[in-house]
Amino acid sequence: MQYFPLFVDTHSLKVLVVGAGDVASRKLDLLSRTEASIHVIAVDICPDTLNYVKQSRITLEQRAVSDTDIQGYDLVYLCTADKRLNERLAGIAKEQGVWANVVDNPKYCRFITPSIVDRGRLQIAISTAGAAPVYARELRARLESWLPQSITPLFDFIAERRQEVQQRLPVFKHRRVFWEQFFSRNDSRFDENTQSHYDASFLMQKQNGELLLIDSSTAVDLLPIGAMPYLQKIEVTYSRLAIPFELNELLRRDASFSDCFDEATIAQQLAEGESCLVYGELDDITYLAKRFPKAKYLQAGSF
């Protein structure tokens, strides 16, 4: 990977564009959407560039460029059609530690311009490492038609709620499940259902952590049939007693087992969305049923 993609914060970024022909104007189309301050130096100015001047989005000096113009910028786009001039200015930029993009020669580019799908917060940058910009453009066209425009407000909606999700779901794993839920319901649309998909994803979350209780006086073969799917979801079994063979057969093979636990361990596991089973003496299980009122206490015939 010769070219590594990264996303630069354009806040207080200083950019110089040398040249104001068609190619410079294409770079300006993208740059003008950022927060960067942009200065252009060129002899001939194409109408698109003049529009940006009229909108006060860029500053412009209509003159020939000089070697001393390069200093003080973070990025420089060299967009003249004069190969030797571009090359010379690229050399100066390099000496001064300014990152240069040379539109007619990738060898002198410190960075290259990708083809960009712009959906606000969602940015997709495509590069062929200079091999085939036309392919990058065509791939962009495909993505443009595939991704709805409403992705832009969708990601604003999400960004506004990110903190709320962090507060309501302090456990990392829960947030991941929440967002998986949200995107599987909502997909990439933003419409009148988005808010309810968001709300519903919290409810799904709450169903995740579950506690089943079975006391040792219960005959496993008398457990109601409706209990079986719950037993199959168990991820951790806690017991200080040996688990009866019949009960063990009803549990998932990949469920883990521990004989070392306390109330806090169980509470923590539930908070992390795990499904747990505690098998124990009648007194202990009765106590846990009171302590965890949402637990399902499986007993013969009742469910």
Ligand X SMILES: C[C@@]1(CC(=O)O)c2cc3[nH]c(cc4nc(cc5[nH]c(cc(n2)[C@H]1CCC(=O)O)[C@@](C)(CC(=O)O)[C@@H]5CCC(=O)O)C(CC(=O)O)=C4CCC(=O)O)c(CCC(=O)O)c3CC(=O)O
Binding positions for ligand NAI, rule: CB under 6 A: 18-24, 41-44, 64-65, 79-82, 85, 103-104, 133
* Contact yes or no for 276/211 (Cβ under 8 A): yes
CA distance 212 to 218: 13
Which partner, ligand NAI, ligand X, none, binds residue 21 by CB below 5 to 8 Å per kind?
Answer: ligand NAI
Q: How far is the CB of 101 from ligand X (least distance, A)?
A: 5
- Residue 103 interacts with ligand X (CB under 6 A)? yes
| Footprint on residues 135-164 left by ligand X (CB under 6 A) | 136-137, 140
Q: How far is the CB of 235 from ligand NAI (least distance, A)?
A: 54
Which partner, ligand X, ligand NAI, none, binds residue 284 by CB below 5 to 8 Å per kind?
Answer: none
CA nearest neighbour of 76 among 64, 60, 94: 94
Measured from the CB atom, is 120 or 130 closer to ligand X? 130
CA distance 32 to 58: 8
Backbone angles phi, psi at 43, to 5 degrees: -85, -55
Q: What residues contact residue 169 under an 8 Å CB cut-off, 6+ apart?
A: 175, 178, 202, 205
User: In the complex, which residue's CB is closest to ligand NAI?
Assistant: 21
Q: DSSP class of residue 116?
A: E
CA distance 39 to 60: 6
* Contact yes or no for 258/300 (Cβ under 8 A): no
CA distance 76 to 79: 9
Which of the stretches 32-40, 133-141, 178-186, 201-209 binds ligand X when contact is defined by CB under 6 A? 133-141
Which partner, ligand NAI, ligand X, none, binds residue 251 by CB below 5 to 8 Å per kind?
Answer: none
| Footprint on residues 240-279 left by ligand X (CB under 6 A) | none
Which partner, ligand X, ligand NAI, none, binds residue 106 by CB below 5 to 8 Å per kind?
Answer: ligand X
Q: Which residue ranges make up the site for ligand X (CB under 6 A)?
A: 26-27, 101, 103-106, 109, 112-115, 127-130, 133-134, 136-137, 140
